[in-house]
Amino acid sequence: MRVHFDLDTRATPAQVLDALTAVGDRRLEIWSRTLDPAKYEVREAGEGWAVLREGSAGVRLWVLLRYEWPTPDRVTWTLLDSDHCDRGSGEVRITARDDGGSHVDVVFHHSGGRGLRGRAVLLLQRLLGPVAFPRTWRAALDRAAA
């Protein structure tokens, strides 16, 4: 299952990178409307990478992701474990806009839905993600820019 979306934000490329790579309490602040503190855990972190357990508020789902940011305009992740799918990866590309903000392009792939629940989650992500994800991401990134 592939999901692609893009968005424009007031956040500068540096602010977008900071928001996507923040670890610890700062990540909980930036993504407070979508990230459930009860599911959030920093497993490991180093220069240019982090392994985080995350889940959204209001749903009983979690993922364990390894994030990497090899360049200032790119963040990637690899799914290490999940309660609803077997495989996954994603990439964010950040481009500066002339007005000082950023264009953010996101693609992720998740597959191997575990049981009926997992397949339903992946289907919902594919159908609703391109509409819902840009709204929530833009809101978080615009708050990070304020």
Non-local (6+) Cβ contacts of 75 within 8 A are 17, 20, 21, 67, 68, 69, 91, 92, 94
Q: Is the pLDDT of residue 49 over 90?
A: yes
Domain of residue 8 covers: 2-145
Indicate which CATH number applies to the domain containing 99: 3.30.530.20
The percent of residues above 90 in pLDDT, for the chain, comes to: 82
- As to burial, measured by CB atoms within 10 angstroms (0-12 exposed, 13-18 middle, 19+ buried), residue 8 is middle
Give the neighbor-by-neighbor strand order of the sheet with 74-82. Answer: 2-9, 102-111, 87-96, 74-82, 63-71, 49-54, 41-46
Mean pLDDT score across all residues of the chain: 95
Residue pLDDT, tens place only, 7-17: 999 999 999 99
Task: State pTM to two decimals.
Answer: 0.94
Structural domain total, the chain:
1
